[in-house]
Amino acid sequence: MQSKTFTIFVKTDTITAGKRDNLARQHGTVTEAIMVRPEDLGLFLRVAALGSFSRAAREAGILPGQVSAAIQRLETRLNTRLFARSTRSLRLSAEGEKYLPYAQEILSVMQAGEEILHHRDNEIRGTLRIALPSDCGRNLLLPWISNFCREHNELTLQLSLSDHMSDIFRDPVDIAIRYGIPDNRQYIAQPLAEENRRVLVASPDYLARCGQPRSPEQLAQHTCLLYSLNGHIYDKWAFPQAGGMQRIALTSQWLCDDADVVRRWAVAGHGIAYKSWIDVSEDVVAGRLKLLLTDIPGEPAPLYLICPHRKEFSPAIRLLRSELSRHLQEITGRLPEALKRASAH
């Protein structure tokens, strides 16, 4: 009788030699395979983001040896090395880079299945930890998010306000709201306000004292309020034009790493700011700031909701994203027609 070959999906650390022999007697040749554990996939994503077994272990609340064992199980199952290791660094191998999006998708599908089975689709509960940008987070998003939490009183809210890009594996947050798409491929970015742009603004008091620039080049003759982030000074203001970007190099005695402070300086009449329309729209409508060079398009400044991977998009996050998008689209819809026409060129 021809021998049959079966693939038995078992955990190799739990099957004994006796069990293996019994399976062989019953079914013929047994080919053993390691089952992929969801926890191992989660640790793989965490190590990929942090670049360290020990840091991933601390974040997960387990021992480094357990993280190492999880990665080893996964590499054995896939028959490939997912990380390039050295005494000084740990990074994804070429194969690990290829596998990463599939690991993210597997966890996403499993999470969706669990939500359906447990009827959690409409439950808005648990802890929601959000990192917000300083200016629009404090002055615009905060009231909307507070109202959202009040409407869903089983939700616990934890906020962090900073312009620094949170590492949402390392820092205790579930999602971050930030301008622009992060370079890190570990993150999933969902648009909140893709049509947003930067605009030049100054207070009526400043304009009465110093006049208005008539071209981007004339900005160098004015007091411009500069912003810095992670040690980088944004002293080259960019304006889209046919075939590329026009960049105006500036120097200033006014520099801050908090975008809210830059806006407050502008309102107080200290100079010209180049800010997101979302950040300054209420000041413009109220007359505290005036738009400048409205016939010249500003640099795109899309706002995104960012999280590590789709597994983290809980019902609360999905509903909050929908609410914030609705509010923000109303604001970007108020971008003056002159700038809308310019942005379409």
Secondary structure (H, E, C), the chain: CCCCEEEEEECCCCCCHHHHHHHHHHHCEEEEEECCCHHHHHHHHHHHHHCCHHHHHHHHCCCHHHHHHHHHHHHHHHCCCCEEECCCCEEECHHHHHHHHHHHHHHHHHHHHHHHHCCCCCCCCEEEEEEECHHHHHHHHHHHHHHHHHHCCCEEEEEEECCCCCCCCCCCCCEEEEECCCCCCCCEEEEEECCCEEEEEECHHHHHHHCCCCCHHHHHHCCECEEEECCEEECEEEEEECCEEEEEECCCCCEECCHHHHHHHHHCCCCEEEEEHHHHHHHHHHCCCEEECCCCCCCECCEEEEECCHHHCCHHHHHHHHHHHHHHHHHHCCCCHHHHHHHCC
The tens digit of pLDDT for each residue in 108-124 reads 677 666 666 665 546 77
Give residue 345's pLDDT band: very low, low, confident or very high (50, 70, 90): very low
Domain residue ranges in the chain: 36-117, 126-189+302-332, 198-301
12, pLDDT greater than 60: no
pLDDT-derived band at 23, boundaries 50, 70, 90: very low
Flag whether pLDDT at 261 surpasses 70. Answer: yes
Angle 251-299-175 (CA atoms, 0-180°, nearest 5)? Answer: 105
Cα(234)–Cα(214) distance, integer angstroms: 22
Burial track 99-129 (b if 16+ CB lie within 10 A, e otherwise): bbeebbeebbeebeeeeeeeeeeeebeeebb
For position 30, what pLDDT does the model report? 42
Domain 126-189+302-332, CATH 3.40.190.10 — does that match? yes
- The yes-or-no verdict on residue 188 having pLDDT over 70 is yes
CATH number of the 198-301 domain: 3.40.190.10
Same fold, 36-117 and 198-301: no
User: What is the reported pLDDT for 120?
Assistant: 52
> What topology is assigned to 36-117 in CATH?
Arc Repressor Mutant, subunit A (1.10.10)
Whole-number pLDDT of residue 312: 57
